[in-house]
Amino acid sequence: MRAFTEFFGLAILIAFTSIVISISILSQGAYLYYYEPNKFAWIAEVLLGICGVIVGIGRIKERLKNRETRGPI
């Protein structure tokens, strides 16, 4: 059950972060929470969000690989 909840949590985090990054890129500002007029801060936020998505996908792949080697449960 713990593996499922971790997988589910990471999947939600990746989905939410991807949507926020997409909206931010398309609107050229972080309109979801506040407008970021400073383009350097906005670029840093987008890059950190992309980094978080990459790390999350890597963690999911790692969990799935560990599950395959251990067997079901």
pLDDT digits (tens, 9 = 90+) for 39-72: 787 777 778 888 888 888 888 888 888 776 665 5
Range of the domain at 10: 2-70
Q: How many domains does the chain have?
A: 1
The pTM is what?
0.60
Question: Residue 21: which pLDDT band, with cuts at 50, 70 and 90?
Answer: confident
- Note the pLDDT of residue 23: 78
**What value does the mean pLDDT take over residues 6-11?**
81
Higher pLDDT: 38 or 50? It is: 50
Higher pLDDT: 1 or 22? It is: 22
- Note the pLDDT of residue 30: 61
CA 22 – CA 35 distance, rounded (Å): 15
In this structure, the dihedral spanned by the alpha carbons of residues 68, 3, 22 and 28, taken in order and rounded to 10 degrees, is: -130
